[in-house]
Each structure stands twice: as C-alpha cells, then as structure tokens.
Amino acid sequence: MQFPDNKKAQLFINPAAGRGKGKKYAAKIRNFLHHNGLITNASFSRAPGDIAAKVKQACIDGCETIIVAGGDGSIYEAVNGIMQAAQESQGTIKLPARTRLGIIPVGTGNDFIKAAKIPNNWQLACEQLLSATPRLVDVAKLSTKNVEHYFVNNIGSGFDAGIGITASNIPLLRGKAVYVLGLLWHLLKGIPNPQVEIKTENYENTMKTTLVAVSNGICYGGSFKITPQASINDGLIDAVIAPPVGRFGAIPLIIQLMRGTHLNNQKVTHLQCRKLHLKSDSPIPLIADGEIIDKACSEYSVELLERRLSLLA
C-alpha cells in the first residue's frame, strides 16, 4: 500500500509494550515503514493515555491512516482516539470512522490480532501492511459511571479481571506465565462470587457468577479462548457468564477457558446480543482490552457498533 506524500500514515509506538519489546523494535519498524513509503515520522507514547490523545488529534487534523505498534492496550488507546474523533465529527457514531487503523503487534498478550488475522510478528505484520486493504470491523462501546470507552477485543469483569489487574503488576514475565502467576495469587486469596443482574435484548437473569466476559474477539489473557466462535464483523457481541466456583472448582474452569471447551459446560451461559447491561450487588474489577477501567465497578453497559472501524489487515 502506498500513500501520497500529503497523506502518509502516522506511526505511534508504545516503547513499554511487551515489557520493552516496543522500544527494542521501534527503530526497525520505523525504518521499514519509512523505506516502503508508508510513513514519514513516528511518535512515541510517554504515559498511559498518550496514544489515545495523539491519535485523536491526528484524526481531527485529517490523518487518514494510523499505524500503532504496541500491544492490546495500545490498540485500545488508538481505537478510542479514532472513535472519539469520529464522535466529535459526527455527533453520534452512525458511520464508519474515516481514519484507517494498521496494527504492528509488539505486546505481551497480542489477543486482538488473532481475530483480525494479523501475524504475531512485527516484521510479518509490517509486510502485510504493504498489501493490506481496509475492511470494516465492529467496535463495542462500554459505558460506566457516565464515561464511554471503546474496545475491539474484550472486557472482563470479576475473577478474570482481577487476574488481569494482578498480572499487569508482575515484572519481568511475559505471555502465559504472567497470567498463570496472577491466577495462582487469586486462588490463594479466594474467589468472590457476586450476584449480578444481566439484561440483553433477548435475555434477562439474576445469578451468582465468577466472571462475566463480553467479547468482540476470540481470546484474552494471552491464551484464554473465551469466545472461540466470535467474529469481529458479525454485528454481535458474545458474552460468557461463568457459574460461581470455589478454589478447587476454579482450576477445571480455567483449564476449560484456556482450551475453549467451557461452552460445552452446561453451567456456563453463552449469549450473543447487540446490547448488554450488568449490575452487581458488590463492586467487581473491570478491564477492557487488558486496560484497567475500574477496580470496583457495580454497573456497566455494552453496545455493539457494527462495522464502525476501518482495519488494515
């Protein structure tokens, strides 16, 4: 893919992604894209939220293509920047965002790229961008405490979110190992089973649960195949509601989640919908695309925005 000089893509790199992989490969990524005529310069994120703010401004300034090099958190920020700019432009996001998004994975989990069919290798991902064509994919809007967030992969609430928050604070380790360590820590602490009320356009129930995951993509946490049948362009979100379990019940459940066989468990509820509302009788942790949204959330809503993001893949 080649762009006119006045419409070069803007590259945003998270040097902290993948426990430093972003910094390690930054020069190689920048040089490859520059040599092949895709970009003229690159911008580095300096703090959480930096990519979102810079991408939003780039979109407002007329940038038509954003390339982000980072992990799921960096993708999350780029998507929020694009969608926030689209919302300001449109008033309400009824049309696809004008700005296209390209992804170069250098993160820890790199979960979204599995559903997007982007290679989990920075060089192969760069090469794919050379011939990539835009395709429209779904985006989900998460609303909590009068704040709107956008995600393309998954939100976790409850036990899984707690593991994700703990894992994000574990130094040095990457990939599966960091999530396994987070899991062991929470097994020792004990597993809360809050009572939640869940409503969709075709389902309503109140129950105790270990976790509720709402997905656009197919996996999270590096290897947990939470919604293996999900699609990023089917116009639906997939929700998984796990039954209440204790320490010993959690282990087989986690194994099922890693293998993607939990949907065969009759105690696990799987929903497909366009809107979902959750209310919990006690605060639960909430994460979106690996980013901490709220460590003590009592209520949130998710709405699927069909084919609103133009993805280069």
Residue 145 located in a structural domain: no
Pair (121, 159) in one structural domain: no
Phi, psi of 263 (to 5 degrees): -70, -15
Q: Which residue has the tokens 């902290």?
A: 16
Q: Supply the DSSP symbol for 220.
A: B
Looking up tokens 């929700």 gives 239
Element (H, E) at 176: helix 175-189
pLDDT digits (tens, 9 = 90+) for 282-299: 999 999 998 999 999 999
Report the CATH number at residue 111: 3.40.50.10330
Strand partners, 39: 9
pTM recorded for the entire structure: 0.92
Q: Judge whether 144 lies within some domain.
A: no
- pLDDT tens digit sequence for 28-83: 999 999 999 988 779 999 999 999 999 999 999 999 999 999 999 999 999 999 99
Measured between alpha carbons, how far is 276 from 154 in angstroms, rounded to an integer?
A: 13
- Number of domains the chain is built from: 2
Strand-strand pairing, 195-200 and 134-144: unpaired
- Which of 14, 95, 91 is closest to 55 using CA atoms? 14
Domain that holds residue 101: 5-132
Residue 72, both tokens: 């799921």
- Range with the poorest average pLDDT among 95-104, 137-146, 199-208: 95-104
For residue 221, being part of any structural domain is answered with yes
